[in-house]
Structure 1
């Protein structure tokens, strides 16, 4: 308790907390986009529950990982070498997660481009997999993003209470933003394709990180923000044209 009171009175601890919360929220965007796209394929009555369960699992997993920080840090220790690069368990997890994202995004893009195949697949998926399959896929990506998030937190501050508060704050933001983001994506079909392209870029970045090629996150998120801005301008232009046509009639 005394240690916590010392942290509360330390301005440097507050700066570290704010910085870490912002970082965790930004890192959570990737996870949130994936959850939104995946849950939008479920029947409407199951979507909200799936988002809450998925994000809740992310919180539980990150807090559990924080309790095993010593083990998490060891995940960065190389276990074998290939092509002159030492691969750790973290690298393997990132590569596996990146490959999964590429596969999932490519499959969803194919379904969006081929509506007939999409409808048939959706009926089959809803009947056989549904809610449980969605939660399973969310849980798999939660693991990848959680490991990356916790290792980032460990690198930014040595204080466990700050990490716990930052993780809870970031997941709370994800929980609040999940449904509005999912509804926005569902109502704007072109946003779906853009979000899937983001997932492909994120997957490629995860693979590159796992292979030892550091990709500055700032460049990735700047590209995503620029693409999103262009799409917003396109949406505004389309709405303006529609209003003009309606006014002409």
Structure 2
């Protein structure tokens, strides 16, 4: 056994040297050898919604990986990865560092406030509402009828956001609502009602849903997510449309 190991040693050494040479060559040529990023899970919780937006902002800012963001934020790579995957809720100081590094204009603070609200609901009610599904229930988004994403608003400006969707399933929509996900108001948050009635809609029909809104007080970006629910707060479509309908504005004084 010893003779075989000693005989194989030069070959193993040669393989390692060749591998090192390839790495150095790729680095010299500027080739990125990093593994592709794992896709994020569909966002269901406030932390996962925060993580999805964080990854998008990171890419927009030119940071190819969480490792590239370490020096700009002072946060560990593992911590940033946990944030993006929604495994860990960020502290307020972490959100501040991310806001500065990514020029997020308040959107991360707005999502962080949603995380705090969700925590409060879990403590108070022991969960976020019973989720039940109906066979044959399906919705298709058609258009933003009013207020395209990142419409510029004044602080505390009132507006109506309207979406158009189709009942694409075989279940009639009766007595349904849009429920706000997360906190309904805050200095960094768009204000909406908790529940907004959806007009009764038969299979195949198109419906416009309008929610009265108030832009946030502070300058910057903010968005609100709303999802179809019952009057008791339990959600439809538990395995689909995780983010629901979105309204996003940019406040400038």
The alignment's TM-score, normalised by the length of structure 2, stands at 0.23
Q: Which has the larger radius of gyration?
A: 2
Higher relative contact order structure (alpha carbons within 8 Å, sequence separation ≥ 6) = 1
